[in-house]
Amino acid sequence: MSTSHDSEPAVHAEIDPVDIDRLRVAAHHVLRWTDEGGADDPDIARVDLIRQHAGTLVDLGTGAADPFAAARSHALTVRNELVEIGTERSLTLAVWFDDALGLGRRGGEAITSDPAERGTD
């Protein structure tokens, strides 16, 4: 953390409405993929967790009523679980979340703490 009074905060209070829409689209595709049996993961709890957090993202709405940190938390949870499944489709969907969250290329690794909170990519 910087002690400079001129520095920008590492965590922004708002999320771009376009990025919320991108997260919603990605989450919608995740729900469709799980409905179609694409997440044929033997860990039913993992699929349920993905669906729960993806459903929350779909319900965000255009105004992003939920706080920025909550939206990122839901998105990172979905993204990490998709990476853990590790199929071609789940990894493709994880990249959609990376793109909407501004995470850049992560090389298929799980993210244990939000880069926005650390102020790095």
**4, part of any domain:** no
**121, part of any domain:** no
Q: Which domain holds residue 40?
A: 17-109
Reported as a single tens digit per residue, the pLDDT across 7-29 is 443 444 456 778 888 999 999 99
Number of folded domains in the chain? 1
**31, part of any domain:** yes
pTM above 0.75?
Answer: no
**7, part of any domain:** no
Q: Are 83 and 91 in contact (CB under 8 A)?
A: yes
Backbone phi, psi, residue 110, to 5°: -70, 150
Higher pLDDT, 17 or 104: 17
Q: Are 115 and 100 in contact (CB under 8 A)?
A: no
**2, part of any domain:** no
Torsion over CA: 54, 45, 82, 35 (sign): negative
